[in-house]
């Protein structure tokens, strides 16, 4: 079988070239063709010797996951459904904003962590995405949207907030991050690449050592009792450990704060008292908050908090000096908003929200 070059991070690609008797600068040239020029055809890589092009054609390929559907929302948000084989699909969402373009990338087909309010979790876990499937989402979005008049790719920021828990697919996620950051590839700054995690504490420490980028942590509850229900991995890594891990992360992070994501669920975690309890929880962690109005999906056991409730919650945090934003709902007319992403090639819904409702009541 041919080697898909998208599966290599920069060091591994250089090593593979060495195995083929090729110098490191040849690997860099090929990287620049693939990522900077968006080229997938070796024959078009005009500054490579003919013999090298022939060798690459025989041994290697540049294979992007196949896109089975594209949808465009009224607000310009674009969603692609990528077929990742055996009936699985993952989604990639491009969100255009003034002066930047953010791509929301998936790292797993499904997710094992089963957060109570998340449609990806309700699908169960299918499999980890390969490095090629993760970086291929960036390649595809850039390819589809094309460079602007100044020759810049449209994807300027990447958030690993699509389907799956990136830190439970650690190796492939980090390889893809390295490609996003490398100057011969996309050359994005570490501050413009964000990993979002539900709080896999040991992997947060590893990420800090191996490839620190901006960090978002899905908090969603001010105490262990509620978070154990909403984000079940909390039973393994409770809030005290999570807060300590955030502090450790910040020692090496490219930004000097953690972004806490907090989904607003009516009557569940959205009271002023919850906000005040949160303030005590995060007292020692430099942070910003991003409040996410809950995005419903079929059979979801929750409702979105009313806007005045969300604003009151924001005010409590803001008055204590914490920068707090309310996430604009983007792309919800094409089910591309946070937590609505679900592979639809095959219905894998095996779980219902029922159990969770019972625990809360």
Contact positions vs ligand SAH (CB under 6 A) = 117-118, 161, 165, 196-198, 218, 261, 263, 292, 294-295, 338-339
Q: Where are the beta strands (DSSP E) in the chain?
A: 3-4, 60-61, 66-72, 78-83, 89-97, 100-104, 108-110, 125-128, 157-160, 193-197, 214-218, 258-264, 287-293, 324-326
CA distance 120 to 164: 7
Nearer to ligand SAH, 60 or 180 (CB): 180
What is the sign, positive or negative, of the torsion defined by CA atoms of 193, 198, 199, 205? negative
- Which residues, in sequence order, are CB contacts of 229 under 8 Å at separation 6+? 116, 221, 356, 359, 360
Catalytic residue selected from 19, 22, 91, 246:
91
Which partner, ligand SF4, ligand SAH, none, binds residue 101 by CB below 5 to 8 Å per kind? none
For residues 166 and 111, the answer to whether their CB atoms sit within 8 Å is: no
Of the candidates 139, 201, 208, the one whose C-alpha atom is nearest the C-alpha of residue 176 is: 139
Among 102, 120, 172, 175, binds ligand SF4 (CB under 6 A): 120
Residue 91 falls in the annotated catalytic set: yes
CB of 311 to ligand SAH, least distance (A): 17
Whole-angstrom Cα Rg for the chain: 21
Residue 122: exposed, middle, or buried by beta-carbon count in 10 A (0-12, 13-18, 19+)? buried
Which partner, ligand SAH, ligand SF4, none, binds residue 295 by CB below 5 to 8 Å per kind? ligand SAH
What is the sign, positive or negative, of the torsion defined by CA atoms of 100, 101, 103, 104? positive
Among 165, 182, 270, 274, binds ligand SF4 (CB under 6 A): 165
**CA triple 338-201-316, angle to 5 deg:** 55
Q: If binding is defined by CB under 6 A, does position 340 make contact with ligand SF4?
A: no
Binding segment (CB under 6 A) for ligand SF4, from list 42-50, 110-118, 185-193, 302-310: 110-118
Q: If binding is defined by CB under 6 A, does position 106 make contact with ligand SF4?
A: no
Of the candidates 147, 176, 144, the one whose C-alpha atom is nearest the C-alpha of residue 160 is: 176
> Which residues ranging from 24 to 83 are in contact with ligand SF4 (CB under 6 A)?
none
Nearer to ligand SAH, 56 or 81 (CB): 81
CB of 183 to ligand SF4, least distance (A): 31
Q: If binding is defined by CB under 6 A, does position 134 make contact with ligand SF4?
A: no
Name the token pair of 358: 């019972």
Binding segment (CB under 6 A) for ligand SF4, from list 22-30, 108-116, 238-246, 320-328: 108-116
For residues 200 and 167, the answer to whether their CB atoms sit within 8 Å is: yes
Judged by CB under 6 A, the number of residues near ligand SF4 is 11
CA distance 357 to 352: 10
CA distance 129 to 179: 15
Binding segment (CB under 6 A) for ligand SF4, from list 45-53, 114-122, 206-214, 282-290: 114-122
Among 29, 88, 131, 198, binds ligand SF4 (CB under 6 A): 198
CB of 105 to ligand SF4, least distance (A): 12
Longest dimension (CA), the chain: 69
Helix 170-181 × helix 131-145 angle, to 10°: 40
What residue is closest to ligand SAH based on CB? 339
CB of 134 to ligand SAH, least distance (A): 13
Which partner, ligand SF4, ligand SAH, none, binds residue 292 by CB below 5 to 8 Å per kind? ligand SAH
Q: If binding is defined by CB under 6 A, does position 217 make contact with ligand SF4?
A: no
CA distance 239 to 222: 9
CB of 252 to ligand SAH, least distance (A): 20
Residue 70 falls in the annotated catalytic set: no
Nearer to ligand SAH, 81 or 263 (CB): 263
- Residues annotated as catalytic (active site), given as ranges: 91, 338
Residues that bind ligand SF4 (CB under 6 A): 111, 113-115, 118, 120-121, 164-165, 198, 218
């Amino acid at each position: 079988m041919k080697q898909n070059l998208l599966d290599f991070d920069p060091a591994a690609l250089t090593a593979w070239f060495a195995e083929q008797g090729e110098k490191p600068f040849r690997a860099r040239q090929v990287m620049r063709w693939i990522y900077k020029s968006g080229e997938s055809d070796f024959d078009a890589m005009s500054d490579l010797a003919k013999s090298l092009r022939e060798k690459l054609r025989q041994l290697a390929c540049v294979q992007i996951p196949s896109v089975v559907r594209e949808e465009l929302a009224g607000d310009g948000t674009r969603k692609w459904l990528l077929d990742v084989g055996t009936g699985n699909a993952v989604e990639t969402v491009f969100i255009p904003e003034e002066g930047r373009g953010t791509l929301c990338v998936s790292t797993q087909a499904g997710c094992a962590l089963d957060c109570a309010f998340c449609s990806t979790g309700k699908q169960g876990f299918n499999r980890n995405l390969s490095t090629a499937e993760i970086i291929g989402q960036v390649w595809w979005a850039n390819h589809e949207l094309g460079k602007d008049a100044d020759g810049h790719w449209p994807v300027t920021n990447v958030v690993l907030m699509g389907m799956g828990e990136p830190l439970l697919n650690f190796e492939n996620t980090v390889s893809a991050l390295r490609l996003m950051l490398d100057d011969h590839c996309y050359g994005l700054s570490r501050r413009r690449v964000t990993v979002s995690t539900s709080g896999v504490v040991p992997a947060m420490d590893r990420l800090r050592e191996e490839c620190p980028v901006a960090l978002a942590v899905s908090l969603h509850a001010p105490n262990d009792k509620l978070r154990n229900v909403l984000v079940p991995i909390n039973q393994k890594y409770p809030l005290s450990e999570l807060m300590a891990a955030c502090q450790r992360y910040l020692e090496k992070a490219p930004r000097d704060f953690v972004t806490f994501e907090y989904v607003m669920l009516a009557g569940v975690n959205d009271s002023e008292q919850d906000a005040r309890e949160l303030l005590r929880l995060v007292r020692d962690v430099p942070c910003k908050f991003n409040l996410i109005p809950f995005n419903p999906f079929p059979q979801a056991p929750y409702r979105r908090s009313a806007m005045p409730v969300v604003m009151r919650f924001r005010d409590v945090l803001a008055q204590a000096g914490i920068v707090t934003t309310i996430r604009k709902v983007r792309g919800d007319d094409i089910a591309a908003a946070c937590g609505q992403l679900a592979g639809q090639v095959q219905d894998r819904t095996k779980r219902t929200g029922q159990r969770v409702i019972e625990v809360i009541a």
